[in-house]
Amino acid sequence: MGRLLEYFLVCGLGPDLQTTDIPPERGYFGSSVYYQPALLDQYPPSEIADCPDPPPQLPLCVLPGGVQLYSQGPSSQDPSSTPRSYPIVLTEGDGSKIYLSCIAFRDPVDDDVAQAYNIPANSYVDKCICFLSHSPCFELFRDALEEIYRCCFSAAGSSKPMWDIIAHVVMSVPLPSPGMGQILFSVDCYQLTVEAPPKDGLPHADMSFEPLVQSLDIENLIRLFTAVLLERRVLLRANKYSLLTVVAESIRHLIYPVQWQHVYIPVLFIAGVDYIDAPTPYLMGLHSSVDISFSTLDGVTVVDLDNNKVLCADELPELPEIEGRQLRKSLLQLVHPTLARLDLVHSTNTFLRRFSKPWCKDHDVELRLTFLQFFASVLSGYRDFVDSTVGTTNPFNAVAFLRKRSRIMGCSEEPMVTEWLSSQGFISFIESGYGKKEAGPNLVDKLQLAISRGEDRYSVLPAKENDPEVLTVPDSDGQVPVSRSRHCYDRFPAFLRTPAQDEKRMAILAAAVEQGRLGSSGAGGKAENLSPQERAAERDLMVLDIKVKLQGLWRRLVSLGPTDDPLSSAEYGTILALIESDAEGIGGSGFVECLREHIHSGWECDLTDLQFNAVKELMKTTISRAFSRNDMTTIRDSLEIASEIHRKDHASVTDYLQRHLGALPVWDEPRFWEGYFEHLMDMDSESKSGPYSSLVTEHLVVLAKHMAGLGMRDLKAWTILETIAKNDSPGVHNLIGLRGLLALMRYAGEGYWGLLPEQALQLHTQQQQQNIDQSVDDESNQPSSETAGIGRSWVHSMFSRDKNALNQTGGSGRSRGSQPVLERSDSSRNMQASTPEPGSGAGAKRGSSGVRLLRGHKAAVTALHAGTRQEMGDCMGDYEDTGYFISGSADCTIKIWNPRLRGSELQATFIGHTRPIRAISSDKIRVVSGSDDNRVLVWDKNSKQLQQELKGHDGKVNIVRMLKGERILSASHDGSVKMWDIRIDSCVATVGKSPSPILCMDYDDNTGMLAAAGVDGVGNVWDVRAGKQMHKLIGHSSWIRSLRMVENTIVTGSDDWTARVWSVSSGACETVLACHSGAVTNVEYCPADKGIVTGSADGLVRIWEQGEGNSLRCVSNLEGVHAGGILSIKAGDRWLAVGASDNTMSLFHRPERQGGSRLPPWKLLRTPPRSAAVVRCVASDVERGRICSGARNGLLRLWEPVVGY
């Protein structure tokens, strides 16, 4: 009887340090470089082993990413430092599989290696221990290996020396015979059992198939199955080695009885990433952190297990209709049993009771039988078409089989079956004897027979023994030592080396020591005799070495996975250390040069939010350190690179790195800008020909755009530019030219900071004048490039020696166009942009611009609330005359604004939260706020002080609502809705509980009905007074982001592109509004006509009104005004206000009823000028026709299109 385990192996950093580069370099190059792993120890040693030696590439396979050094060992504060357990599967030349179970961890660097290579003391390095076997006992090997790891590093230690325990497990545990009982053995004091399944059952798979069905939904699982079955090139991507191996092994078992005949590498080591361009079929897995952008991937099916995506380069044929439908149905019953059999009677639903429990071995068997039944159905009667003649080239008559199947199934063509029958896997299945008549029945044959007899498909599997035989492996040394001593280790112990091994190791380390000594002594010995040219050459070599290291660190930093935090990564820390610790500035200049080279290589400069933050901090450090060294060259290069690096938020609005560097003091230095201008002149004076004024103009434009991006104040910027202009063109005092430069800078600044107050007023006034004079219906705003050209022409006139230049350019500019006019059309149902009818009162006072910018917040505005007349407090003056707005920000402050007090709108600032504000509400005397700090705070308007702090939520507070009787409702990310009583300063009750975060809520204080919805796409209705849940509103298939409840009606808007109307009393869905082409982000109910207004992420607003039979129909829509997602819709008796994320607003007016029972339709009154700011929230006061938006840059934009209502 052979052994179960063949080897115990230890891999890690060997004595011969070599990098993973191609070609590799010998020596120690710091902790940021990856080194090649080596085989350190093995048991049994090669001298006494009775098995073939481990394959030479094994160390590289068990540590696919290479070996890295660290300054600290495992820490609970650093998740990346914790040990990782994963399986690896290798394929030998004869096709047999080698199964390895691995645990990778950080271990101290060997003392002799650290001393030979001058590695810093107390350094740690990646190390991996693993079992090697030809038996696929994944779970067993993992349990045994984890017990060995615990015995080594636990405080209690082990009862015997570590290598004695290993020797017992490897040498004493026999390989079990299929179906011949169990073998019981122990690892120290931990008992384990192993058994082999019978030969006539399913192939042995000691693992769970659950990760496969958790990573991929049913359709993507079928796509992966089809691609593997048809022998395509399949590449798995995941951020866990375990997931790659488990999914690859799972899909290999699901195509049984077919065997995968091609390249099979479940975990591909990084150095072999070029293998993915192989032209032959393969099934490989690659860690998601590895960059494959250089690969063409033509014809490769890429399976992203982390994000449930399958990208097929070539179209995959569909499964046969009947078998495919049955396969999907069976998978749905297995993976989602409750959903599949929701309407069945429970007394007869045995399948549901069996598989509704957590995933277990029964689920694995059911999944494998489901796919086996697929093959049994497709291959029905296949034995009749097998040619058993010896020497035949094609043993299976596929044409005849397909003809018969087509006649039975009633289908003309089945491309998937046709292609599969010609695959190498199917031909191998036939040629291996399964299809021959003299061969015994296989599981496919047995399952076909069982199905034809109406038997359970489990009958094809061999029966389990009720009382299996158990073979116990005795401990090699059953006597406990008299001293009862325990063996504890601070590192994984090395196996006793032979004299030859010691001699070889010492020779390698001695060579490393000698090489290091010669290098240091040689450099020091000739340091005094070096010429200036030699010194410069040595410095250039050092600079090149640092740049090469920075380039590798940078590429790994931008290649981190979506769940990795770049600020806490080793790459970020190493780059930061190189920048801060380098007195000569090589690190900073090298980092900037690395970014420039990456851009020139084709990088699009787009970063994620986390990467953007990391690069921002690195760039700030680079500029600050360069400024301290007076290194203006590095600062200049950093500024140029920063203007290109950007990110995009959820609204696809670009945010450049440059606008985050404005607080650095270097920009206030005129000498920097003068030096920058001189550098530009020197660069272009020889390479460009043309008038001197053209060069000056072009370079001043460059400086002005950088100043705009940095947010420099006008006075400071103009002073610097004027000084440079006078120095380069003495005696020139062209005020018009400076105004042109001012216009250019302000237009450029709109892309970073939005419109300034005076710009907004000027543009709005121009627009109103054009609205009066225009005779065309569709004239759009001039693009920013044209306005930039105007500024360039005006600046050119400042330095032109042609006296007529000003006259030539002064009248060439075109004024900015107005917003498009939308005409009503019954066929398209678009809005009419017209003035109100005479006598309505709306046209009397339309002349004012009505746009104000309110400044005060230092970070993005994250919440806005509009106060109504009934909510006004005494601190706000006469609340019957005006309303107010309350804003919350990411700077953790809350501010009250009074639109009535022009120039002094800010009335109060509340400071108390520690995280960004998410929700605000108010009544006459109080303001209540909810924040990401999980708290609800109550503020007094009169005293402007914090009144109460309400704690109880375990997640972010998303919604707050003031109620009558000094009560508050709050909803949180933890899924709870709580009611608070301010008088007793505590939570009265948790009135609602949802299994997912709540995003929207509404409450009727008259009836006590509460409605809430959120991430799970299910609405919940509670009767707060009765203390019970009334209904679950089930129908949406994605997040519900908006909800409105009025009387007996609830309206919800979801990411599934639909809005739904529900009955409060019955909980039934009455209407589905499905005419949007994006997520419905806002819904509003109009009580006057019982109409509904919906807005979606594509910027479309639709108005629905009651038609015949109380059915809702879309009577009009607003297109072309809003390009961003709709953030707010508010309807009143006369006004309807809409605000979007692209900082556009629109106001609708409903004329007074002229007679009859039907109300007039909403008409678009007007829209304000658009600015470039990105809006996070919008609030509207429809009683006064006011709209206020809060932007990412902290500005509030208050629009009052009408006055006097």
> Residue 99 in contact with residue 133, Cβ under 8 Å?
yes
Percent of the chain clearing pLDDT 70 (strictly above): 79
Q: How far is CA 1015 from CA 411, 606, 1037, 1169, in A?
A: 43, 29, 10, 35
Same domain assignment for residues 104 and 214: no
Separation of CA 939 from chain center: 37
> Residue 204 in contact with residue 197, Cβ under 8 Å?
yes
Q: What is the number of other CB atoms lying within 10 angstroms of the CB of residue 1025?
A: 11
Same domain assignment for residues 182 and 297: no
pLDDT recorded at residue 21: 81
> Residue 447 in contact with residue 460, Cβ under 8 Å?
yes
Of the given ranges (447-461, 715-729, 1036-1050), which has the lowest mean pLDDT? 715-729
Instruction: Say how far apart CA 117 and CA 939 lie, in whole Å.
Output: 64
Same domain assignment for residues 280 and 184: no
- Is the model more confident about 484 or about 94? 94
pLDDT recorded at residue 233: 92
- Average pLDDT score, the chain: 79
pLDDT of 270 higher than 70: yes
Phi, psi of 367 (to 5 degrees): -65, -45
Over the stretch 744-774, which tens digit does the pLDDT of each residue have? 666 556 555 554 444 444 444 444 444 444 3
> Residue 129 in contact with residue 103, Cβ under 8 Å?
yes
Q: What is the number of other CB atoms lying within 10 angstroms of the CB of residue 642?
A: 26
Give residue 17's identity as a one-letter amino acid code. L
Of the given ranges (136-140, 578-582, 588-592, 619-623), which has the lowest mean pLDDT? 578-582
pLDDT recorded at residue 254: 94
Angular region, 297: left φ>0, alpha ψ -120 to 50, beta rest = left
Per-residue pLDDT band at 513 (split at 50, 70, 90): confident
What is the arithmetic mean of pLDDT over 247-253?
95
Instruction: Say how far apart CA 1042 and CA 1073 lie, in whole Å.
Output: 14
Instruction: Say how far apart CA 919 and CA 916 lie, in whole Å.
Output: 10
Range 164-170, long-range pairs (CB < 8 A, 24+ positions): 164/476, 164/477, 166/8, 166/43, 167/43, 167/44, 167/476, 168/475, 168/476, 169/5, 169/8, 169/144, 170/3, 170/5, 170/6, 170/7, 170/8, 170/43, 170/44, 170/131
Helix (H, G, I), strand (E, B) or coil at 713: coil
- Is the model more confident about 738 or about 166? 166
**Structural domain for 523, as ranges:** 497-529
Same domain assignment for residues 380 and 244: yes
Picking from 615, 636, 668, the residue at the C-terminal end of a domain is: 668
What is the arithmetic mean of pLDDT over 574-603?
77
Same domain assignment for residues 226 and 269: yes
Quick one: tokens of 861? 């505005």
pLDDT of 1133 higher than 80: no
> Residue 301 in contact with residue 313, Cβ under 8 Å?
yes
Same domain assignment for residues 166 and 277: no
Picking from 405, 433, 460, the residue at the C-terminal end of a domain is: 460
- Is the model more confident about 751 or about 928? 928
Q: What is the number of other CB atoms lying within 10 angstroms of the CB of residue 510?
A: 12
Quick one: tokens of 1121? 């005004």
Same domain assignment for residues 236 and 249: yes
> Residue 615 in contact with residue 607, Cβ under 8 Å?
yes
**One-character DSSP codes across 1122-1133:** --SPEEEEEE-S
* Beta pairing class for 300-304 and 233-238: parallel
Separation of CA 944 from chain center: 41
Quick one: tokens of 612? 């953007």
- On whether residue 938 sits in a domain, the answer given is no
Same domain assignment for residues 121 and 44: yes
- On whether residue 363 sits in a domain, the answer given is yes
Same domain assignment for residues 510 and 642: no
Range 399-406, long-range pairs (CB < 8 A, 24+ positions): 405/380
Per-residue pLDDT band at 809 (split at 50, 70, 90): very low
> Residue 645 in contact with residue 657, Cβ under 8 Å?
yes
- On whether residue 1026 sits in a domain, the answer given is no
> Residue 166 in contact with residue 8, Cβ under 8 Å?
yes
Label residue 613 exposed, middle or buried (CB < 10 Å: 0-12, 13-18, 19+): middle
- On whether residue 1100 sits in a domain, the answer given is no
- On whether residue 171 sits in a domain, the answer given is yes
Taken in order 319, 323, 325, 326, is the CA torsion positive or negative?
A: negative
pLDDT recorded at residue 830: 36
Same domain assignment for residues 642 and 720: no
Instruction: Say how far apart CA 143 and CA 439 lie, in whole Å.
Output: 39
The total number of structural domains in the chain stands at 5
- Partners of 106 in the beta sheet? 126
- On whether residue 483 sits in a domain, the answer given is no
Per-residue pLDDT band at 311 (split at 50, 70, 90): very high
pLDDT recorded at residue 535: 62
Same domain assignment for residues 628 and 709: no
- On whether residue 929 sits in a domain, the answer given is no
What is the arithmetic mean of pLDDT over 107-112?
92
What is the arithmetic mean of pLDDT over 1103-1125?
77
Over the stretch 132-173, which tens digit does the pLDDT of each residue have? 999 999 999 999 999 999 999 988 888 889 999 999 999 999
pLDDT recorded at residue 937: 94
pLDDT recorded at residue 1013: 93
What is the arithmetic mean of pLDDT over 1061-1087?
86
pLDDT of 870 higher than 60: no
Instruction: Say how far apart CA 182 and CA 4 lie, in whole Å.
Output: 13
Over the stretch 197-242, which tens digit does the pLDDT of each residue have? 888 888 888 899 999 999 999 999 999 999 999 999 999 999 999 9
pLDDT recorded at residue 480: 44
Over the stretch 361-392, which tens digit does the pLDDT of each residue have? 889 999 999 999 999 999 988 888 887 665 56
* 241: CATH: 3.40.50.11500
Highest mean pLDDT among 424-433, 709-718, 769-778: 424-433
Instruction: Say how far apart CA 63 and CA 105 lie, in whole Å.
Output: 11
Per-residue pLDDT band at 1112 (split at 50, 70, 90): confident
- Partners of 928 in the beta sheet? 921, 938
Instruction: Say how far apart CA 1165 and CA 875 lie, in whole Å.
Output: 33
Same domain assignment for residues 503 and 560: no
pLDDT of 930 higher than 90: yes
Over the stretch 620-646, which tens digit does the pLDDT of each residue have? 888 888 887 788 888 888 888 888 887
pLDDT recorded at residue 977: 93
Instruction: Say how far apart CA 497 and CA 530 lie, in whole Å.
Output: 46
- On whether residue 203 sits in a domain, the answer given is no
* Beta pairing class for 646-648 and 606-607: parallel
Best CA proximity match to 659, nearest among 604, 628, 702, 619: 619
